[in-house]
Chains A and B, each alone.
Chain A
């Protein structure tokens, strides 16, 4: 046991906080935002493909989506980084893509539930009006489907935010990695890791409250 140990040292806290916020948190937020954008767009594309393509395309897409969703993000990150780092020299870009693709599989499922919840009558009405297929999707189905899915999509965005620390396995200097680096350089982890956790809490809790309110409003 360390005789010099203390519960909390403000000097360490003050020393680590700027780099946590200015370096680590910045990257964490960047990764969350870009990863969410990727997942939002790809997820919708996947959901539409799964809804409207023949079994020959649908079956492999479904399987790949399921495979990505049921295997660890951590393994996918290390794998993709090793394979892609010879073509892309930004580990952060690779990390963001993997995070985005991983969550695409979740968001696709959310969109799919949203599309399924649009009543059959809406499709029938569009057919009765001889609306073209693309127009039916764009003007009728997607607007209604997305409204139902907003809270779930938002929840997955928060979830991505809290999973960015998995980036530690490919050494991207996001929030937790910065905290860990400070800890190992100074032989003092308490303030750095605790502050990292509190920053996560401070950012994710209000956001999830907002989404809960949105959920109530849309219900």
Chain B
């Protein structure tokens, strides 16, 4: 337990040291944010492209999408990261090139979590009530217009909680990119350890990730509130700004019945519990 006591005794000087090292730490924060945001953008693109392909009428399109999704979900993030970093450069022409570490990180994160998110997109679109599809048909709207103007806006509200959870998973997963020489937040904070001791350095790292995760949660809560309001389920953002700070996976509004309804929609959205990884 001397670790904890030392942690408290040295808190002042250690914080001083953090201030001194701030430029490097901020570099790390920037890399972590960049990898998480670009990774999430790629994941979102993949999610919609493959999520829609999973619903295609054409068997070939559906089959290709299914293989892609199962492959990237099934082979583990770290394997994909190492494959891009170590195997790709060893392959013969026309492959055999070394990617920039940032690109390796973004690609691995985007492909892996994008495959999970594709399943979320598929599930959410599938859980838009059939009556909506029938109304689209009865009004003779084209399938494409119906999909983009009517189905996806409703599915968007359903998929946001799961996408929010996946984005946090992606952020947490990004802490591994130090192993392929991308100098992110975790890497930079580890450099503090020699001077500050283990307890301070790692507590600092965890807290930093926790705060970044909360930024994502708040942003995604905001999008979810807005999306729900736009389909007439829930108040406008300005009337319910407090729910921006709702923890992910916790009960909206506190009521048990609300919880059940939400669970049902999440369960329909296809993935584990609250948009887990499996």
Are chains A and B touching directly in their complex (CB below 8 angstroms)?
Answer: yes
Tell me, rounded to whole Å, the shortest Cβ–Cβ distance linking B217 to chain A.
8
Q: Does A5 contact B (CB under 8 A)?
A: yes
Which residues of the other chain, B, contact A2 by a CB distance below 8 angstroms? 90, 96
Contact A189 B87 (CB under 8 A): yes
Tell me, rounded to whole Å, the shortest Cβ–Cβ distance linking A94 to chain B.
14
Q: Quick one: which of A132-167 are within 8 Å of B by CB?
A: 149, 151-152, 154-159, 162-163, 165-166
Q: Does B225 contact A (CB under 8 A)?
A: no
Which residues of the other chain, A, contact B91 by a CB distance below 8 angstroms? 5, 7, 190
Which residue of B90, B93, B96 has the most chain A CB atoms within 10 A of its CB atom?
A: B90
Picked from B3, B73, B87, B171, the residue with its CB within 8 Å of the CB of A83 is B3
Contact B272 A156 (CB under 8 A): yes
Picked from A66, A155, A193, A200, the residue with its CB within 8 Å of the CB of B273 is A155
Type the 1/0 row for B88-114, where 1 means its CB is closer than 8 Å to any CB of A: 001111001100000000000000000
Bound form: Cα–Cα A20–B206 in Å: 32
Q: Does A204 contact B (CB under 8 A)?
A: yes
Which residues of the other chain, B, contact A162 by a CB distance below 8 angstroms? 74, 76-77, 277
Which residues of the other chain, B, contact A117 by a CB distance below 8 angstroms? 260, 263
Contacts A109-B274, A165-B76 given; indicate if A180 touches B82 (C-beta within 8 A). yes
Q: Does B198 contact A (CB under 8 A)?
A: yes
Interface range on chain B: under 10, 10 to 19, 20 to 34, or 35 or more?
35 or more
Which residues of the other chain, A, contact B156 by a CB distance below 8 angstroms? none
Which residues of the other chain, A, contact B45 by a CB distance below 8 angstroms? none
Which residues of the other chain, A, contact B79 by a CB distance below 8 angstroms? 165, 176, 193, 196-197, 200
Residue of B nearest to A110 (CB): B273
Interface range on chain A: under 10, 10 to 19, 20 to 34, or 35 or more?
35 or more
Q: Quick one: which of A163-194 are within 8 Å of B by CB?
A: 163, 165-166, 168-169, 176, 179-180, 183, 188-190, 193-194
Contact A200 B199 (CB under 8 A): no
Bound form: Cα–Cα A201–B251 in Å: 34
Bound form: Cα–Cα A108–B171 in Å: 21
Which residues of the other chain, A, contact B209 by a CB distance below 8 angstroms? 70-72, 75
Q: Does A25 contact B (CB under 8 A)?
A: no
Contact A70 B213 (CB under 8 A): yes
Q: Does B172 contact A (CB under 8 A)?
A: yes
Residue of A nearest to B217 (CB): A70
Contact A78 B202 (CB under 8 A): yes
Bound form: Cα–Cα A149–B93 in Å: 49
Contact A116 B198 (CB under 8 A): no
Which residues of the other chain, B, contact A93 by a CB distance below 8 angstroms? none
Type the 1/0 row for B165-185, where 1 means its CB is closer than 8 Å to any CB of A: 000100111111001000000
Q: Does B214 contact A (CB under 8 A)?
A: yes
Bound form: Cα–Cα A133–B162 in Å: 34
Bound form: Cα–Cα A98–B35 in Å: 25
Residue of B nearest to A176 (CB): B78
Type the 1/0 row for B148-172, where 1 means its CB is closer than 8 Å to any CB of A: 0000000000000000000010011
Which residues of the other chain, B, contact A159 by a CB distance below 8 angstroms? 272, 276-278
Q: Does A1 contact B (CB under 8 A)?
A: yes
Chain A interface main SS type: helix
Picked from A71, A200, A201, the residue with its CB within 8 Å of the CB of B206 is A71
Contact A155 B271 (CB under 8 A): yes
Picked from A72, A165, A201, the residue with its CB within 8 Å of the CB of B175 is A72
Bound form: Cα–Cα A152–B75 in Å: 20
Which residues of the other chain, A, contact B214 by a CB distance below 8 angstroms? 70
Contact A169 B172 (CB under 8 A): no
10 further A-B contacts with Cβ under 8 Å, apart from A5-B90, A168-B179, A193-B83, are A71-B206, A113-B274, A151-B272, A155-B278, A156-B273, A163-B76, A163-B77, A176-B79, A176-B82, A201-B71
- Chain A positions within 8 Å of B, measured between CB atoms, are 1-2, 5-7, 62, 66-67, 70-76, 78-79, 82-83, 106, 109-110, 113, 116-117, 120, 149, 151-152, 154-159, 162-163, 165-166, 168-169, 176, 179-180, 183, 188-190, 193-194, 196-198, 200-201, 204-205, 208, 211
- Chain B positions within 8 Å of A, measured between CB atoms, are 3, 70-71, 73-80, 82-83, 86-87, 90-93, 96-97, 168, 171-176, 179, 186, 190, 198-199, 202, 205-206, 209-210, 213-214, 217, 247-249, 251, 256, 259-260, 263, 271-274, 276-278
Instruction: Offer 20 A-B interface pairs, CB within 8 angstroms, sorted by A.
Output: A1-B93, A2-B96, A71-B213, A72-B206, A73-B172, A75-B205, A78-B190, A79-B206, A82-B198, A109-B274, A155-B271, A155-B276, A157-B278, A162-B77, A163-B76, A166-B78, A169-B179, A180-B86, A190-B90, A197-B75
